Each structure stands twice: as C-alpha cells, then as structure tokens.
Structure 1
Amino acid sequence: MLSKALLRLGASAARHPWRVIAAWLIAATLAVLAAVAFGGRTADSMTAPGLDSRRAAELIERAGTGQEGMTAQVVVTPLDDGTTFFDDDGARTALTRLQTEVKRMPHVLGTSDPAGALDAGGDTAVRGGLVSADGRIAVVRVQYPDQSRLSAEDLDALVDLGDRLRPELPLRIEMGGNLFYAFSDPDGGASELIGLLAAAAILFLAFGSLVAAALPIGMAVFGLTVGVATMTVLAGVTDVPTFAPVLGSMVGLGVGIDYALFVLARHREYLACGLDPQAAAGRAVATAGRPVVFAGGTVVVSILGLAVANVPFMTVGGVAVSIVVLTMVIASVTLLPAFLGAAGPRLGRAGRIGRALRDGTIRRAASGIFGVAELPRFATIPPK
C-alpha cells in the first residue's frame, strides 16, 4: 500500500518537476518570511519541574530581591602593568565612572560596587569578591530583570558602552555573563558550509557526475531552509533552546543527504536498465522511499522520546529537531523525484570518474594499493 502511494507520488513529481520545485520554492519563501515576521530568538530556560534549583528560583522571584533576572560581568584591569586599584587614584576614578555609566543604561537594576568597597579598604573589596587579591582586577556585576523583559538591544547597549569607554579610560575592559549567552548570535554557518563542501566532494567521487552530486545537496538545502525557518517561527511561540538550530542543522543535513542517496542510487540503477526518467523516479521512490519513510519516522519518534524526561526545554528542542527531520523525509519523496525528472537521462551518463569506475581503472589501482583483488561493483537490479 505504501509502495503504491510512493510510486504514484514519485512518478507524479517526476512528470511535473517544475510545479513541485516551484511549490517548494514558495514554501521556503513563505517559511523564511514567517520566520522574519513572527519568529523569535532561541532562549535557554534550563529549568525542570520539581528540582530544588527551580523551587529556589521561585522563592527568590516571590521575595522580589531583584536577583532573579539576567546578569552580566564587566571585568577591568589597569592598562599600566605596575598599577593596582589599591594605590592608584586614577584607576579608581576610572572604575567609579565605569560603574556610573553602567548603572545609567536602560533596564539595569543595579551593579556591584567595587569602587565603594575599595574606599572602605582593600581587604573589604577582596573579601567581597569584587577585587582580586593583588588589586589588579575588579569585577562589576550588572543585574538585569528577567529575560522576557530584555532583548538583544540591551546586550548591544552594554557592548557599545564598553567600546566607547575603552579609548577614554586607562582600563582594559572585558565583558561576559548570561546576558551574552542569551542574546549573542553564535558564530554558526561555517561548520555547515564545510560539511556541505565535504559532502559534495564525496558525492562527486561516488557518482562521478556533477549533476548527481548536486541533487542531494540541493534537496538538503531546501529542506533545511524550510525546517530551520519553521523552528524559528516556533521560537516565537515558545522557548526553543539554543542547541536546537545547531542540532537540527547537523541532523537535517545528515539524514537529508543520506535519504537522497537511497533514492538517487536506485534511480540510476533503473535508468541503466532502460527505464525512462519519470518511470525510474517513480520506481526509485516506491522501493528506496519506503525505507526512507520508516527510517525518518523512527528518527522522529526517537527524538520525541525526549518528552519522557518531563524537562520542558528538552521536549521543545526535540520537537524542533523532529520538524527538520520530517521536512527532510517529505523532501526526499517529493522534491528529489522532481529533481530527478528535471535532470532527465543525464543522470544515467557517468562523468570521467564514473567511467573510470565502470571500466575498472580505479578498481585496479585500488587493488594495487590495498592488496585486494578488485573492488566490488554495484549490483544492478532490473525492474519488475
């Protein structure tokens, strides 16, 4: 039953490739526009019902101490290596000005007071953890309200303040804290690009054809765009943890290319048997698409098993990653056969590397290197 449905789906997509590709382009565009208009930022709410830490946080919030929100740390040290905050009035004055400027920023509830502690005595500042024992380092702890009342603009304001004060004060200024963790954009994209390039190189060597190597990559990029954009929209409704986009991209690229290889390899076998591209694509989806659907369903169910832990942020993260995997499965049985139909009979013609594999040149070279008789050929399965 499933095979027949996949056969019709794959054959229809291959017969009308540009309609299917256009539909995916529209879906990707709408997903990106929805992410821009309604999407939210990922946020880590590392809380779990029933834990002592959660109950302590609730007590602090009910007490109204102002310590239940986000924090940042501004760490300063004199530029002059021989200067300390204990004995240099200029460094202490600069520290006082820094504290004052930080307190004036929007949404800042308060700061620690290392300058005031130094006025009370160096030992007092050291015991309070505001100044290092050698007097070279001072820490200004900045208290913010809850993350729901903050945005990336608060982080930008703090960073801009540091950039403005560095040329004016005789201090080296460094910043950190969970405000940065919550609102700074991770340096992503490079690893995914490296992975795509490596996958493209391996696929080209495997298939010996640039077109055949490009199709799994193109399908994975389409699916990843729709999946991650949908995840961003989900972040506008609930708290999606910061690990979800990274994990979703990693898993999505892996399963997307993997599933595409199942279908593409079977499609090329059917082309070699003399079937036309549309019929070959339909049979490939009917045969290889079935394990793709079952494998993808298994991955989705496994990831959704995170909900059993009853930890909200893990549950939402699992749902977000499952969306990417499910999108890849749908792309494998709809978008990929459309690509196969659009490529036509070209996928049945191997490139220079593919011809070398077929003629045995690379196999004979490998046998001399590795000491084996000959690398095995791929079996050709005739159509039924």
Structure 2
Amino acid sequence: MPSSQAPAHGETAPPRGALRRTGQWCARHFVTVLVLWVAALAGLQVLQHAYGGDYSDDFSLPGTQSQDGLDVLKAHAPQAGGYSAQVVLHDADKPLTSFSDQVSTAVTDLQKLPDVLSAQNPLPPSGSTPPTPPDPNTGPLSTDQKTAYITVRFSVQPSTLDPSYLDGVDRAVQPLRSAGVTVEYGGSLGELARPEPDDRTSEAIGFGVAIVVLLIGFGSLLAAVLPLVTALICALCGLALLGLLAATATFATVSPTLATMIGIGVGIDYALFLVTRHRQNLVDGQDPVTAAGNAAATSGHAVLLSGCTVIIALSGLWVSGIGFIGKLGLAAAVTVVTAVLGALTLVPAVLGLIGRRIDRVRVRRPVA
C-alpha cells in the first residue's frame, strides 16, 4: 500500500514515522508485547503489595489561614487546637440531662484515650440551666435537650488512626448505649468508623453499560471488548505505580478513585481512536499489521497529543499552592501515562493478534 501523503512544510514527520513503526512492530510481534505487558502488570502488582504505601488524609495546608490558626492554637492553647471530631448523642424519649452520669463517664473515658487532647461535656453542670444560644441550632445541646454532641480534639487526624482505635471509643461510650442512648461518630472519627468502600459493583455496572454502548457503536463484540480490556490493564498498572509512589509521599484517600476514573476513561477513548481507524484501514484493503501501524501513526498521534494535554492540565492543579490537590493531579496523570503507553503498544499488539477476525462475532453488519 502506498504511504500517506508527505507532510507539509513545518509538519513534524518523524514522530508519525516512529509511531507507525512502533505500531507495526507491536502488531507483528504481538506475543512479545503481550507477554511484556502481562509481566509488567504482575510485577507491578507484586511490588505494590510488598512495598506500596497507604493513602491518608493526614496533610497540612501551608500558607492558608486555617493552617496558620491551627499552628497558633497548637503553640499557645494545645487543648483547643488539634483535630476535632464529634460523638453525637440522641434519645427520642428523654432529655439527655437524665443521663448526666453516663455522659460524664463517657467524657472522662474519652479524655483518657491516646492522642486525645480534650473532650467537651455538652451538658451543663448539675443544678444549672443551660444557656440559650443566639441561634437554637448552635451549641452542643439542642433546645429540647434530646440531641447533643461531645467535641473530641485529637493531636492527630482521627481518620489516620488504626481502625482498632474505635474499640477504645466504643468502650468509652458503652455506658450511654447501655442506657438506651443512640451514639454515632461524626467528622473524621466517623470516617474512621465508615466501612471500607467497595466499588466493584458500580464498576461492573459501568463496564456492562460500556459494552452495550460499544456494541451499538461498533456492532462487533471483539471491537467492543478490546478497549475495555486494554484500558483496565493500563489502569491496573497505573494504580500499582501510584501505590509505589504513595510509599514516598502522602496521597489523599480519594487519589486511587480519581486515578481509576480518569485512567479507565481516557484508556477507553484512546483505544477507540485506534480501533476505529484500524477497522477502516482493514475495510480499505490493508493487511492487519499495516492497518495497525497506520492507525498508530494517525489516531496514535492524536492519542499522544491528547495525553500530553491532559497531563499538562492535571499538572495545573499545583497552581493552587495546596500540595494534596496537586498530588491528586499527579495521581491521575500516572494512569493517563499508562493509558497512552497502552494505546500505542498494547492496543496494536491486540489488533495484530485478532487480525481480520475483529468483526467475526458481531451483532450487526459493520459500517465504515
């Protein structure tokens, strides 16, 4: 087949030539490329489980007024500083003043826990009348005295503590629960008590919907599944790399979720670029290796530019001057990089493996 038109004056031909050669080599040596990707995926997963770090919301915001105020409190009034969380109390039948002894016991026991700076009793001293705040919705005790919250201040971010720490909190408030008072945890202490999220169901639903949409668009089962599989492999590699980075720096707990969302999204898009062009090249009479190489040279060029644009845009989060926000961009950029690498190497290799069989299993007649 004749090559595409020569580039106009000023156009950068070498990158396209390199992309074409890369795509053709991957399509021709698909066994080698697939083995390398599987080995990389397995190796990164092993390294991540052995040396990967944990995600944490224990970060500071240097240069902000809130951080400056917290530093002043730590220096001059440690009991009023730290990180606050709430232990919320409620009884539907009786006012909480009926449980003053249990509340006092719970507050005393909470103050004895490790990393606790102070715990505030929401009830007024015995025999006194609780002051009426200007706004009935403010203050630790509601106007009907059936709802209150104990403010507990910690020297560390409670959400970063081991989940077993909640055993001590549960023991401290057990007298209240035994008396029939409902006790719940709020703020960062509530985050520690929150069950580990499981996104597998929602991700499975998302993949199912994606398969239906791609089947409608492509009409071919293999063409619909290929972008999903390659995007998932690339995202898993990116998440493993992110886990290794988390061993050297603090990344927020939302980082892997954000990285997964963006990594799979761009991974599917980039694979779609190449698959669509590759199928058109096959319709035009090109052999699978040449079709994959030309797809990498044309749509692959768009993938490369798009990936660089996304990475630069994510790097712009560092302009905020807040480190943990900038690291969110870095986390997402890691999976974008693996998505680009996968689109330029893994996708052509799979296309070379499938060859002309890409439209063999179909739900409707393929169209150009």
Q: What TM-score do you get using the length of structure 2 for normalisation?
A: 0.84
How many angstroms apart in 2 are the aligned matches of 1:266 and 1:159? Answer: 60
In the alignment, what sits opposite 2:319? 308
In the alignment, what sits opposite 1:33? 46
How many angstroms apart in 1 are the aligned matches of 2:36 and 2:179? Answer: 57
State which drifts further: 95-104 or 179-188.
179-188
Change (3 A) 1:335 1:257: same
Contact 2:163/2:192 (<8 A) preserved? no
- RMSD over aligned Cα, in angstroms? 2.9
How many angstroms apart in 2 are the aligned matches of 1:74 and 1:238? Answer: 31
Contact 2:88/2:183 (<8 A) preserved? yes
Change (3 A) 1:148 1:352: closer
Unaligned runs of 5+ residues in structure 1 are 359-377, 379-384
CA shift for structure 1 position 104? 4.1
- Residues matched between the structures, number: 350
How many angstroms apart in 2 are the aligned matches of 1:226 and 1:165? Answer: 49
Q: Residues 240-266 of structure 1, C-alpha deviation per residue, up to 9 Å, x if partnerless?
A: 234433332222222111110110011
CA shift for structure 1 position 271? 2.0
Whether 1:72 aligns to 2:80 is no
Identical-pair percentage = 31
In the alignment, what sits opposite 1:103? 111
Contact 1:10/1:285 (<8 A) preserved? yes
How many angstroms apart in 1 are the aligned matches of 2:16 and 2:297? Answer: 5
Whether 1:63 aligns to 2:70 is no
Whether 1:130 aligns to 2:130 is no
Q: Residues 66-102 of structure 1, C-alpha deviation per residue, up to 9 Å, x if partnerless?
A: 4443332111122xx331123x2xx233323433443
How many angstroms apart in 2 are the aligned matches of 1:346 and 1:42? Answer: 47
Contact 2:159/2:191 (<8 A) preserved? no
Q: 2:65 aligns with which of 33, 52, 61?
A: 52
Contact 1:70/1:143 (<8 A) preserved? yes
How many angstroms apart in 1 are the aligned matches of 2:219 and 2:159? Answer: 55
How many angstroms apart in 2 are the aligned matches of 1:25 and 1:291? Answer: 26
Contact 1:108/1:142 (<8 A) preserved? yes
CA shift for structure 1 position 155? 5.3
Letter in 2 for 1:9: T
Secondary structure of 1:341's counterpart equals: helix
Secondary structure of 1:119's counterpart equals: coil
Q: Residues 294-324 of structure 1, C-alpha deviation per residue, up to 9 Å, x if partnerless?
A: 1111111111122223222222221111111
CA shift for structure 1 position 209? 1.6
Q: What TM-score do you get using the length of structure 1 for normalisation?
A: 0.81
Letter in 2 for 1:60: L
Whether 1:264 aligns to 2:275 is yes
In the alignment, what sits opposite 1:236? 247
CA shift for structure 1 position 158? 5.8
Q: Residues 191-235 of structure 1, C-alpha deviation per residue, up to 9 Å, x if partnerless?
A: 433332221111111111211111100011111112222223323
How many angstroms apart in 2 are the aligned matches of 1:118 and 1:264? Answer: 73
CA shift for structure 1 position 280? 1.9
Structure 1 residues 232-381: aligned runs within 5 Å: 232-349=243-360, 351-353=362-364, 355=365, 358=367, 378=368
